C-alpha cells in the first residue's frame, strides 16, 4: 500500500504524503486544504454541510475513450484522500494563460450576476460544470446546476441568464486544449491501495472488493465511507476525530451496473447522479425522487450504498426502493447474502448488516407486474431540503379492480422507514374508490405516532401522510 495521494492541480501532479509530519489528516477537507494554499482561496466556507455551496469546486475524472468528465462537488464535504487520481479545478483555474476570463465568468459580469461576491466563486464553478456537460442547456438543466448554490444578493434571474448566454460553445475552452496532457497525468497516477496512518487516525482506501472485504473483517468497527456526505458532518460540524476509516471510493466493482432481462443491479458505490440516469427509463418513481435529492453537488459524491447504509428515518430513497421490492446484497469475506430492504432496516439507524459485511449492490426487478408505483417528498422547500415526510407507494389490482396488493411506505413518521400495515390491511380486497380511501386514511393514526421537530409537528406529519394517500388515489384513477 502507498502512503501518498496524487492528483492534478494547476496543470501539474500534486503528491501529498500524510506520514511525513504534515498537518494534513485523512479527514482534512478539500476546502480546508485549498484555504491553506496561497493562491486558492476563492472557495469559501459558508455552512460546512453542503447547504450553500460557496465551496463548490469541479473534479475532472477519467471517462471512457480517454476523455475527462467534469463534476461539481462541495469541497467542504470531501475528504482530501478522495482526490486521488482526479483533477481538481478551482475558480482560480478558469482564466486562460492569457489572463482572459472564462465564458461563464464573463457572462456573470455582463448579466450582473454578482454583488457581494461571497457566493460567486461557487456559482461560477457550478456554471463551469454545466458548461462542460451541456451545450445550450434547457432551463431545467440550468436550474438543476445551481440548485445547491445560495444567492442572497442578485437572486437567480441574472445567473440563469448568464448560464444561457455562456453555454453555447459546445464545452470548448482552454481545458479542452489541455485535456490530452491532463489525461496522461491522470493515467500516470498509480491506483494502488492507500494506507495512511497519523497520530490519531488510520485511513484505508482499498483498490478492489476482495481487499475491502478483508479490511472490514480485520477492522469490523472501522467507519465505512462511500461518499462521506453524511460522515463528513461529524468532522465539519461535530469536530470529531474519526479513528479508523475504510474508504470504498476506489473500488471499481462497487460502481458497476449489471443488467439482465429480469433485473437491474446497481453497484453500491455508484454515485447518485449516475443512478439517476440509470433508472430514468424504467423506474420513474425512483428517478423522480432522485431529481429532488440534495443538490447536484451532493448527488455527484453521495452513493447509493452510503445512503442506504445510514438507515436514516427520513431517507428519500428507502421508501421508493421498498415500493419497488428492491433487495440489497451484503457481502463478507466468507459469504454473500441477499435480503429485502424491508428486512434490512431494523430500527433508528440500525440495519441487518453484520460488522464484517459491506453493502455491495441493490437489485431491482425489470418487470413490476403492472404495479403502479409513486414516490413523494414533503419538505419546506422543493430543492436541497430534508424530508418532513416521504413516501413510496405500490398498488396492484385484481381483474375485478379490487386491491390485490398494496405497500404504503413512509419516511419521517417513525424511528425508521416503515410500512402503514394497518392501512394496507384495510385496503386489501376492496375497490379502489375515494370513499374507501378516505376511510383508510383514518388507519394512519394507528400505524404511526410521529414526533414534532424543526421539520414539522406531529400533527402536520400525520395530516401530510393521510393526504399523500389521497393524492396517490387521485393519480391512479
The predicted-structure confidence for 132-180, as pLDDT tens digits, reads as follows 999 999 999 999 999 999 987 888 999 999 999 999 999 999 999 999 9
Q: Is 148 within 8 Å of 384 (Cβ atoms)? A: yes
What the block records as the C-alpha cell of 444 is 394512519
Q: Give the pLDDT of residue 4.
A: 92
Tens of pLDDT, residue by residue over 323-359, are: 999 999 999 999 999 999 999 999 999 999 999 999 9
Cα separation, 183 vs 179, whole angstroms: 6
Burial classification of residue 434, based on how many CB atoms lie within 10 Å of its CB (0-12 exposed, 13-18 middle, 19 or more buried) = exposed
* Neighbour-count burial of 368, counting CB atoms closer than 10 A to its CB (0-12 exposed, 13-18 middle, 19+ buried): middle
Query: In the numeric block, which cell numbers belong to residue 381?
Result: 422547500
Residue pair 470/441 in contact (Cβ under 8 Å)? The answer is: yes
pLDDT bin (cut points 50, 70, 90) of residue 115 is confident
- Asked whether the beta carbons of 42 and 90 are under 8 A apart, the reply is yes
Instruction: Kindly give, in sequence order, each residue whose CB lies less than 8 Å from that of residue 442, ignoring residues fewer than 6 positions away.
Output: none
Distance, in Å, from the CA atom of 419 to the CA atom of 426, rounded to the nearest integer, reads 13
Residues of 391-412 as b/e, b for ≥16 C-beta within 10 angstroms?
bbbbbebeeeeebbebbbbbbb
Q: Which grid coordinates are listed for 44?
A: 469559501
CB-count burial class (<10 Å; 0-12, 13-18, 19+) for 214: middle
Name the phi and psi angles at 247, rounded to 5. -95, 120
Closest-CA residue to 135 (of 170, 178, 98, 94):
170
pLDDT of residue 20: 63
Q: Are β-strands 194-197 and 327-331 bridged in parallel, bridged antiparallel, or unpaired?
A: unpaired
User: Cα–Cα distances in Å, from 58 out to 131, 264, 425?
Assistant: 12, 30, 49
Q: How high is the mean pLDDT of the chain?
A: 96
pLDDT at 85: 96
- Which DSSP state fits 167? -
Q: How many CA atoms lie within 13 A of 399 on its CB side?
A: 0
Q: Percent of the chain, pLDDT > 70?
A: 99
Q: Which domains does the chain have, with CATH numbers?
A: 4-93+178-247 (3.10.20.30), 103-172 (1.10.150.120), 256-474 (3.30.390.50)
pLDDT of residue 96: 95
Q: Which of 308, 319, 477, 288 is nearest to 407 (CA)?
A: 319
Unique residue bearing C-alpha cell 432551463: 139
Instruction: For residue 409, give the 3-state DSSP assignment.
Output: strand
Phi, psi of 361, deg, nearest 5: -165, 165
Kindly state the DSSP code that residue 293 receives in the 8-state scheme: S
CA distances, 119 to each of 29, 38, 91, 122, 125 (Å):
19, 20, 12, 6, 10
Helix axes 120-133, 157-166, angle to 10 degrees: 40
Give tens-digit pLDDT for 71-94: 999 999 999 999 999 999 999 999
CB-CB contact of 236 with 77 (8 Å): yes
Residue 85: closest CA among 251, 277, 243, 305: 251
pTM of the model as a whole: 0.95
Predicted confidence at residue 23, as pLDDT, reads 87
pLDDT in tens, 9-54: 999 999 999 876 678 999 999 999 999 999 999 999 999 999 999 9
The Cα–Cα gap between 122 and 56 comes to 5
Report the pLDDT averaged over residues 188-192: 92
Other Cβ atoms within 10 Å of 32 Cβ, number:
20
What is the distance between the alpha carbons of residues 282 and 43, in angstroms, rounded to a whole number?
A: 38
How far CA 76 is from CA of 50, 200, 315, 419, 476, in Å, comes to: 7, 21, 22, 35, 42
Mean pLDDT value of segment 292-314: 96
Distance CA 325, CA 336 (A): 19
How many other CB atoms are there within 10 angstroms of residue 282's CB atom? 15
For 426-439, write each residue's pLDDT tens digit: 999 999 999 999 99
**CA 334 vs CA 14, 210, 217, 266, 342: distances in Å:** 38, 10, 9, 22, 24
Which band of pLDDT confidence, cut at 50, 70 and 90, is reported for residue 65? confident
User: Using CA atoms, how far apart are residues 103 and 369, in angstroms rounded to an integer?
Assistant: 50
Confidence of residue 66 (pLDDT cuts 50, 70, 90): confident
Q: Running DSSP on this structure, what letter comes out for residue 404?
A: E
Is the pLDDT assigned to residue 369 strictly greater than 80?
yes
Amino acid at each position: 500500500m502507498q502512503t501518498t495521494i496524487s492528483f492534478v492541480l494547476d496543470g501539474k501532479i500534486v503528491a501529498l504524503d500524510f506520514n511525513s509530519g504534515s498537518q494534513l489528516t485523512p479527514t482534512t477537507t478539500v476546502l480546508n486544504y485549498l484555504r491553506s494554499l496561497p493562491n486558492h482561496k476563492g472557495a469559501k466556507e459558508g455552512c460546512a454541510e453542503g447547504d450553500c455551496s460557496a465551496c463548490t469546486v469541479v473534479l475532472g475524472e477519467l471517462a471512457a475513450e480517454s476523455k475527462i468528465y467534469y463534476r461539481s462537488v462541495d469541497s467542504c464535504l470531501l475528504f482530501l484522500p478522495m482526490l486521488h487520481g482526479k483533477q481538481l479545478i478551482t475558480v482560480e483555474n478558469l482564466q486562460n494563460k492569457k489572463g482572459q476570463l472564462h465564458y461563464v465568468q464573463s457572462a456573470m459580469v455582463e448579466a450582473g450576476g454578482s454583488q457581494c461576491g461571497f457566493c460567486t466563486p461557487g456559482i461560477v464553478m457550478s456554471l463551469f460544470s454545466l458548461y462542460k456537460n451541456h451545450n445550450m442547456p434547457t432551463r431545467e438543466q440550468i436550474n438543476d446546476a445551481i440548485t445547491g448554490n445560495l444567492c442572497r444578493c442578485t437572486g437567480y434571474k441574472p445567473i440563469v441568464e448568464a448560464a444561457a448566454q455562456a453555454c453555447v460553445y459546445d464545452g470548448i475552452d482552454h481545458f479542452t486544449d489541455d485535456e490530452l496532457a491532463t489525461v496522461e497525468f491522470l493515467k500516470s497516477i498509480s491506483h494502488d491501495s492507500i494506507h495512511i496512518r497519523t497520530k490519531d487516525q488510520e485511513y484505508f482506501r482499498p483498490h478492489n472488493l476482495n481487499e475491502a472485504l478483508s479490511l472490514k473483517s480485520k477492522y469490523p468497527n472501522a467507519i465505512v465511507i462511500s461518499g462521506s456526505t453524511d460522515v463528513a458532518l461529524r468532522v465539519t460540524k461535530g469536530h470529531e476525530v474519526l479513528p479508523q476509516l475504510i474508504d470504498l471510493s476506489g473500488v471499481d466493482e462497487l460502481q458497476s451496473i449489471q443488467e439482465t432481462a429480469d433485473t437491474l443491479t446497481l453497484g453500491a458505490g455508484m454515485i447518485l447522479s449516475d443512478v439517476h440516469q440509470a433508472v430514468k427509463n424504467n423506474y420513474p418513481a425512483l428517478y423522480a425522487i432522485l431529481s429532488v435529492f440534495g443538490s447536484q453537488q451532493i448527488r455527484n459524491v453521495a452513493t447509493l450504498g452510503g445512503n442506504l447504509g445510514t438507515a436514516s428515518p427520513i431517507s428519500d430513497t428507502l421508501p421508493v426502493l421498498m415500493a419497488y421490492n428492491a433487495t440489497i446484497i451484503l457481502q463478507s469475506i466468507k459469504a454473500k447474502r441477499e435480503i429485502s430492504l424491508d428486512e434490512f432496516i431494523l430500527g433508528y439507524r440500525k440495519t441487518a448488516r453484520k460488522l464484517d459485511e459491506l453493502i455491495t449492490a441493490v437489485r431491482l426487478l425489470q418487470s413490476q407486474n403492472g404495479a403502479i408505483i409513486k414516490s413523494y417528498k414533503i419538505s419546506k422547500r422543493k430543492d436541497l431540503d430534508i424530508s418532513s415526510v416521504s413516501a413510496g407507494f405500490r398498488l396492484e389490482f385484481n381483474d375485478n379492480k379490487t386491491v390485490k396488493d398494496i405497500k404504503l411506505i413512509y419516511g419521517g413518521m417513525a424511528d425508521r422507514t416503515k410500512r402503514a400495515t394497518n392501512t394496507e390491511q384495510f385496503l386489501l380486497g376492496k375497490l379502489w374508490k375515494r370513499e374507501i380511501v378516505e376511510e383508510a386514511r383514518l388507519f394512519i393514526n394507528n400505524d404511526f405516532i410521529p414526533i414534532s421537530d424543526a421539520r414539522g409537528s406531529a400533527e402536520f406529519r400525520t395530516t401530510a401522510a393521510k393526504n399523500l394517500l389521497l393524492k396517490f388515489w387521485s393519480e391512479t384513477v
